[in-house]
Structure 1
């Protein structure tokens, strides 16, 4: 698979260089919202949607800023787009699914400060991807985020039924699970070439 192919770009963002488990971006929702599988999946979908909107917008913004030689405005423009996309998602979820809005709590508006979303915009700009490559990169990053948070939620739900020593319950167990998942995903690092 060629490094510029959209399949490789998708797999690279989703598995090989998973934003959460390999690059360690977006850890806060991984630890905070992964208590229940349904909530984790919904948070993953919301984050993936914001990643896609932000990525497409970042590509367009980068083209305009490069044309006018204003590259120094990239970061602030990306942050404004991300904040706007999160507000859109928050309003939609609040209107159409109030229980989900309550379940996600403070973590929904915190998508704005999720460094994985900003990372997608900055990395695709740095890699100089074209529009299609940028879309597949963000889709891969979103799929990888969903994969990581759903895996974590599934493991945490299973551990609720297990006899875990009291010293390892709660945050300690969540951090150990995140570390083990990260080690597993680091095994894919050699696939990237």
Structure 2
């Protein structure tokens, strides 16, 4: 059992070791869905929900597989849980908000292959987090993911009003902004002690 406080776990996952800006996990939606603030916020919420469900399920799966001495089934079990949760989210979003479903496009089903979620459950298991610690870790990672998406979306929306030289328009400026955001998040590394 890990003796780290819940607040430290949350801050570590959210800011210090942000999955997108420090570990570079989940870059696909970070670059693809961060064009508009509204879409980025909702994608962040969907990813956070999948992270929370996957974290709780990963704790149960890890406990079960450890009890039956079958740790080699961890990875495939985690993938099945993540894919099932994403399918649930996709059906809910399609039913509740068809406009959001169309706005998220291919990135919604791609949550299944989002390495940030698989990374979350693997990190959680390797760190030996219990149920509560794992849940807080997932919440921090989801909030951090959402913050990264919202920061990128806000900056990209502001760029629409700026005169950007043709040589850096489009993907180039987006990657430059992502790099600067990543560098700025390195400043939080001092919080870790």
Instruction: Give the alignment's TM-score, normalised by structure 2.
Output: 0.98
Q: Which runs of 4+ in 1 moved over 2 A?
A: none
The aligned residue for residue 75 of structure 1 is 75
Rounded to whole Å, the distance in 2 between the matches of 1:11 and 1:90 is 29
The aligned residue for residue 139 of structure 2 is 139
- 1:3–1:12 distance in 2 versus 1, CA, 3 Å: farther
Please state whether the residue corresponding to 1:69 is helix, strand or coil: coil
- Structure 2: give runs of 5+ residues left out of the alignment: none
Please state whether the residue corresponding to 2:47 is helix, strand or coil: helix
Is 1:15 equivalent to 2:15 in the alignment?
A: yes
CA shift for structure 1 position 75: 0.3
Instruction: Give the alignment's TM-score, normalised by structure 1.
Output: 0.98
Rounded to whole Å, the distance in 2 between the matches of 1:39 and 1:191 is 30
Between stretches 182-191 and 92-101, larger displacement belongs to: 182-191
The aligned residue for residue 152 of structure 1 is 152
C-alpha RMSD over aligned residues: 1.0
Please state whether the residue corresponding to 2:77 is helix, strand or coil: helix
> Contact 1:3 / 1:9 at 8 angstroms: preserved in 2?
no
CA shift for structure 1 position 191: 2.1
- Structure 1: give runs of 5+ residues left out of the alignment: none
Rounded to whole Å, the distance in 2 between the matches of 1:113 and 1:101 is 18
Q: Deviations over 1:116-140 (max 9, x none)?
A: 0001100000000011000000000
The aligned residue for residue 100 of structure 1 is 100
CA shift for structure 1 position 186: 1.2
